[in-house]
Chain A
Amino acid sequence: MNPLDDKMRWLEKAGDVDAKAPQEMHGLLVEFDSPETLLDACRKVRDAGYTKWDALTPFPVHGIDEAMGIRMTILPWLALGAGLTGLAIAFGLQIFTNGIDYPFLVSGKPLISVPAQIPVAFELTVLFAAFTTFFGMLVLNFLPEVFHPLFRAKRFPRMTADRFGIYIEAKDPLFNRQQAELLFTRLGATGVEPVLSRTGRAPMPVMIHGVGLTLTLLALIPPALIVKSRYSKSDKPRIHIIQDMDFQERYKTQSAHPLLPRGAASMEPVAGTIARGELNEDDHMYRGMAGDEFVRGFPMALTESVLNRGQRQFAIYCAPCHGLTGVGDGPIARRADRLAEGTWVAPTSFHTELVLEQAEGQIFHTITNGVRTMKPYAAQIEVADRWAIVAYVRALQRSQRASIDDVPPDIRAQLAQ
């Protein structure tokens, strides 16, 4: 089955229907059998001064732009303009939303931070330029073309396969059928066909009105629902669109369960077992306690590496408020002072009698559970690191109250000088 034959049969049927309406001359289709004769004819048509005409070829023909006198398209300029617009919008949006309208620090970067904005700027530049190129191409070519009288011409289908054509519209001011036919016969045309179209606009089929009206009404329903829910009150819970995420098939903590002991979904650990990582038997190590008293002394040996570790952890977790020397002059405390924050409780100096007299266990307890406005650090700092910090705090305290006895004997002489 030849698809071209199909097309021809369809054309004959369509022509029969259309033939009942009054017809008028729409243009003249001229057929050529080689791209060379077509190019030659195009030059002649161009030079003759025709304006409303086009060439039809089954594949791109080199040099036809020049032969037809088609100027360079403005599409590249549109794409450039759109790309720059996208770039400007991307930067503008990010600068305005994140830097001006709602200043929001991300990862400690500046509010208006160009490197972070480049990916969005790049994508938006490409998006705008690509859309403009694609849709601009369609618009500049008057596409998509749903119907054109040429589609009914007998010779037109072969111009998508192995024939070439020139179509001159009757609207062209220079259009004269006899003259044109004469010109093209001289130029080696293998056929000339007048193309007719019905006069005036064809009436729209009634069905289209009905379908259009129905679709329009249906399209109004979702926005109407949205408007309704925005401006009405309801005591019903909201609609759960993703049901299996909102209501998962599991038992929540504290909920009831008919089959389990105690009738509760949560079960107690098996008697005599301890969960992994919770065997914190050593009261001294894990709680800083001996019985009901805070313990004095450390659960581990104090080595240089422990103190170094303590110094680093102290600088990370404690120094922001307590300051690097522990007098309570960290940057946060200083800022709070500067802003005269009413609710601020100044961080305790480690060099007060209060802290000096505290047992090591109590300092550990303070780090673990927090005190006053200081929050607990158990989640951030490991147990061994907490003890290392306690050791470093002791070292800090000693540094402020050092006597000559603290200096190793062999370098006392140096200090004396």
Chain B
Amino acid sequence: MTPPPSAASDPMQHASTAPLKVEQVTLSGSTMGLAPKMMLLGLVTLGAGLLLDLVAGPKGLYHFAHAYLLGYFFCLTIALGALIFVCLQRLTKAGWSVVIRRLAELIASTMPALAILAIPVLVFMHQLYPWTHAELVENDAILLGKQAYLNMPFFIGRVAVYFAVWIWIARKMLTLSLRQDESGDVELTRKAERLSAPAVILFALTVTFAGFDLLMSLDPHWFSTIYGVYVFAGSMVGFLSVAILGVKFLQSRGVLRDVVTVEHFHDLGKLLFGFTMFWGYIAFSQFMLIWYANIPEETIWFEHRMSHGWGWVSLILLFGHFVIPFGGLLSRHVKRDARGLVFWAAWQLVMHLVDIYWLIMPALNLAHGKVGAPGYAPALHAGFPLHVLDVLAVVGFGALFVGLVMRSMRGVNLVPLKDPRLAEARGFHNF
């Protein structure tokens, strides 16, 4: 028997096998010039926020701390989504995603900068985390019981471990990939694939506990074991939206043109659709168990998010983060249409921000006296605390993060040129 031919070459796909030009692979100097400007804009905006709250007095500091965490965690989830995306592509030995993987590797490589940006979160611990107040813990049987886990040295140590793990994985993945650009050694691909399996396990554990620590302990009485998965689901939605928008932006500058095709966008769209569904599934799983059991110590978290105007935000999430984009992204034609996909990616990115806002900001009400410990914090806002600080923090962090990602693109090929699966990726075709 004659062995079957290994692959079909498609006469219509000649364009995708043409050798890559320099401008398709590297960012031009004029675009690179945006990076420091973006970073400066980000830092100035964040600084303006800090000034603004210092003028507002001690109450303002509470709001600034929460707004900072909002902007910070928003960017962190995107970097985390990029990190797990890289690991998953390596783990599954994916071919199609090779042309997108470098972008994800670079986004994940902002992890050291994000570790430094986590320091203010630790500085503002008193404003953020009620369990850091000794006088509050003393009078609270629940917090006393959690003290073995929720105490400052252990908390700071854990955050340090999370970032050590994330930085290590991100750096390892990027250097393996970059070294291959020079040597073309296939063994480097195998190394990355071998690394990806333990990396995914480490990632799952660290993201779960980072979610517990950084966000869930804002309301230290409350607990939900699915919370880490919820953060992960949101991270993937955030990263995939950024990936779609980022590739589109780069293509508008000439990079990745004719490299990332409608077929790759289609797959990114499918993943975005899938994780939109996954987010809805996880969000509902968390809600339904709590709603059904109806135990006050659990329902209080949703009670905070379904009253005082927050009910509207919850509804925006239900429809905006799940129902509407589910319908919007359902069709194959939308995922293959450049404008359609960009629209839904931008939409989901905004919704991801609303999601983080919804997770963090009700705790600000809590911080301002709802836990009710004397002298803990003065009541500032009852209800819905949308504030110019939130906008400044999000804009500042957004600009800073974009600047950081662009800075990491300096002198780096945006396509892994000697990846053994590059040809497969460029010839990739959905049926």
Contact = CB atoms under 8 A, between A and B. Distances in A.
Contacts of A80: 330
Given A59-B8, A115-B287, A115-B288, A161 B332 contact: no
Interface string A349-388: 0000000000000000000000000000000000000000
A76 interface: yes
Contacts of B291: 115
A109 B299 CA distance: 14
Interface stretch (B9-17, B111-119, B134-142, B149-157): B9-17
A162 B287 CA distance: 54
Interface stretch (A60-68, A216-224, A330-338): A60-68
A76 B5 CA distance: 32
B359 to A, nearest CB: 20
Interface in B280-314: 281, 284, 287-288, 291-292, 294
B11 A161 contact: no
**Size range of the interface on A?**
20 to 34
A162 B2 contact: yes
Contacts of B287: 115
Given A116-B292, A162-B3, A63 B330 contact: no
Which one of B3, B12, B281, B287 has the greatest number of beta carbons of chain A within 10 Å? B12
Given A39-B11, A62-B10, A80-B330, A118 B284 contact: yes
A334 B331 CA distance: 57
B4 A36 contact: no
A194 to B, nearest CB: 24
Contact of A62 (B5, B13, B294, B332): B13
Given A63-B10, A115-B287, A119-B288, A3 B294 contact: no
Given A76-B332, A108-B294, A162 B8 contact: no
A119 B11 CA distance: 47
A62 B3 CA distance: 20
A2 interface: yes
A230 B197 CA distance: 60
Interface in B1-44: 1-5, 8-13
Contacts, number: 49
Given A60-B431, A76-B332, A115-B287, A107 B4 contact: no
Contacts of A108: 294
A328 interface: no
B270 interface: no
Which one of B5, B281, B284, B288 has the greatest number of beta carbons of chain A within 10 Å? B5
A244 B141 CA distance: 50
A3 B4 CA distance: 14
A113 to B, nearest CB: 9
B125 to A, nearest CB: 36
A2 B1 CA distance: 7
Contacts of A119: 288
A35 B13 CA distance: 14
B314 to A, nearest CB: 13
Contacts of B330: 80
B12 A63 contact: yes
Contact of B11 (A63, A115, A118, A158): A63
B8 A161 contact: no
Nearest to A72: B332
Interface in A108-122: 108-109, 115-116, 118-119, 122
A107 B294 contact: yes
Contact of A59 (B4, B294, B331): B4
Contacts of B11: 36, 39, 63
B1 A3 contact: yes
Contacts of A4: 1
B263 to A, nearest CB: 10
A387 B291 CA distance: 35
A149 interface: no
Contacts of B294: 107-108
Given A108-B294, A115-B288, A118-B284, A62 B1 contact: no
B94 to A, nearest CB: 19
Interface residues of B, number: 23
A69 interface: no
Contacts of A3: 1
Contacts of A63: 10-12
Given A80-B330, A161-B1, A62 B288 contact: no
A92 interface: no
Contact of A161 (B2, B10, B13, B331): B2
Contacts of A109: 292
Which one of B8, B281, B330, B332 has the greatest number of beta carbons of chain A within 10 Å? B8
A63 B8 CA distance: 11
B257 interface: no
A207 B252 CA distance: 71
B429 interface: yes
Which one of B4, B330, B332 has the greatest number of beta carbons of chain A within 10 Å? B4
Contacts of A15: none
Nearest to A157: B1
Nearest to B7: A59
A391 B325 CA distance: 60
B288 A107 contact: no
B270 to A, nearest CB: 13
B284 A35 contact: no
A263 interface: no
A58 interface: yes
A61 B431 CA distance: 9
Contacts of B5: 162
A61 B284 CA distance: 41
A39 B431 CA distance: 16
A219 B2 CA distance: 48
Nearest to B429: A62
B262 to A, nearest CB: 14
Contacts of B1: 2-4, 161
Interface in A86-112: 107-109
Contacts of A60: 8, 431
Interface string A237-260: 000000000000000000000000
Contacts of B4: 58-59, 161-162
A62 B292 contact: no
A115 B286 CA distance: 12
Nearest to A3: B1
B332 A118 contact: no
A63 B3 CA distance: 23
Interface string B80-93: 00000000000000
Interface string A36-70: 10010000000000000000001111110000000
Which are the 6 A-B pairs with shortest beta-carbon distances? Answer: A62-B10, A162-B2, A162-B4, A4-B1, A2-B1, A35-B8
Given A60-B8, A62-B10, 12 more contacts: A36-B9, A58-B4, A107-B292, A107-B294, A115-B284, A115-B288, A115-B292, A118-B288, A122-B281, A158-B2, A161-B4, A162-B4
11 contacts: A4-B1, A35-B8, A35-B9, A59-B4, A60-B8, A76-B332, A107-B294, A109-B292, A116-B288, A116-B292, A161-B1
